[in-house]
Structure 1
Amino acid sequence: MTATLGACERRAAFSECRSGATAVEFAFIAPIFILILVVWIDLGMTLLEQSVLDSATLRAARSVKIGATTTSTDFKTTLCAYLYGVVPCASIKYTVQSGTSFSALSTTITTDSSNALTNTSFSIGSGGSDVLVQVGFTRKLFAPWLSAVFGKNGYLLILSTVAFQNEPYS
């Protein structure tokens, strides 16, 4: 009876045996690939939410600009209608301020410990007023260890800002 030899046993030196090398190499590289995949997913979600928030902010600001929206409730209703469920409407915070010139409007934002906007107000002014709209929401990062680079206490503030002059409505 003749015994069949394995791939490594047929080789002259043990150092030439490579069976299992692929599994070991994969074990070294797999965590890096998984890390990159998690970062890509988180970045993709952030960019999608930013894009949807920008679009909704532009549309809601347009309704303020033409005088169709005059109350905070109407503004939030218009804003939430264009979020398409991608961004949770309940977590939206906004500041709408008006003035006689853009230099008089404050672009400073303040946040709390969960990185949510705290300086919220609603003042659309009148026809011809300069208006600054800032809309933001806080999103929990998918991977908490990304917060050291991108967020505050594991939360990321996604903010959209629009500045315009109201139409001369009365």
Structure 2
Amino acid sequence: MKQALSALDRLRGCRRGSTALEFAIAGPVMLLLIFAIIEDGLMLFAQSVLDNATRDASRQILIGNITTASAFQAKLCSDVTSFFDCTKLQFNVQASAVGFPPSVVATSATAPVSAAVFGPGTGGQYVTVEVVYSRPYMFPWIQSIAGAGWTLMSTQAFQNEPFS
């Protein structure tokens, strides 16, 4: 009995392996948080790239340089070259005589670019440009926790210049 107590006392006083045990408990949570922060940072960067590309392409509609869907798509794709899969971009451009038309982009953003609505309007018309991109997660195991991915949307609303 005395030997059993002394072995138990030795085991209680032994600190070997405690660091590994603590890391085994806290490490996965810490790594999950680090990867989630990286994923959020990439999403914010992607949203910024999409906003800038939408603004630049919309500016070309506003001044009358872009009048076709293919030219609009080419301008968008040139601004998001390496960070986006351009075939997954969905956009809608709608003009109205008075005020801004309602939102026309589906929340799923699964339609290809070729199915986009494109009506840049004429000089003086109000135009709404919406661009949507469904971005998958960079880390697949985050997808299993959080869902399908990010749906990024950028919107521009403006009145065309009085071009002829």
- Rounded to whole Å, the distance in 2 between the matches of 1:106 and 1:117 is 19
Hey, what does 2:134 align to over in structure 1?
138
Structure 1 contact 109–117 (Cα < 8 Å) conserved:
no
Hey, what does 2:123 align to over in structure 1?
127
Hey, what does 1:55 align to over in structure 2?
52
SS of the residue aligned with 1:102? coil
Runs of 4+ in 1 over 6 A off after TM superposition: none
- 154, 157, 160: which is aligned to 2:154? 160
What is the aligned length? 152
Unaligned runs of 5+ in 1: 1-8, 149-153
- Rounded to whole Å, the distance in 2 between the matches of 1:18 and 1:83 is 54
- Rounded to whole Å, the distance in 2 between the matches of 1:26 and 1:43 is 24
Structure 1 pair 78/108, CA: closer, same or farther in 2 (3 Å)?
A: closer
How far did 1:84 drift?
Answer: 3.2
Percent identity of equivalent pairs:
34
How far did 1:107 drift?
Answer: 1.7
Unaligned runs of 5+ in 2: 1-5
Relative to its length, the structure with more helix (as a share) is 2
Residue identity in the other structure for 1:137: Y
How far did 1:108 drift?
Answer: 4.6
Residue identity in the other structure for 2:23: F
- Rounded to whole Å, the distance in 1 between the matches of 2:66 and 2:97 is 19
Structure 1 pair 146/100, CA: closer, same or farther in 2 (3 Å)?
A: farther
RMSD: 2.0
Structure 2 contact 92–104 (Cα < 8 Å) conserved:
no
SS of the residue aligned with 2:102? coil
How far did 1:109 drift?
Answer: 3.0
How far did 1:79 drift?
Answer: 1.0
**Structure 1-normalised TM-score?**
0.81
1:8-67 CA-partner distances (Å, limit 9, x unpaired): x9xx75422211111100100011011112212221221111111100000000000000
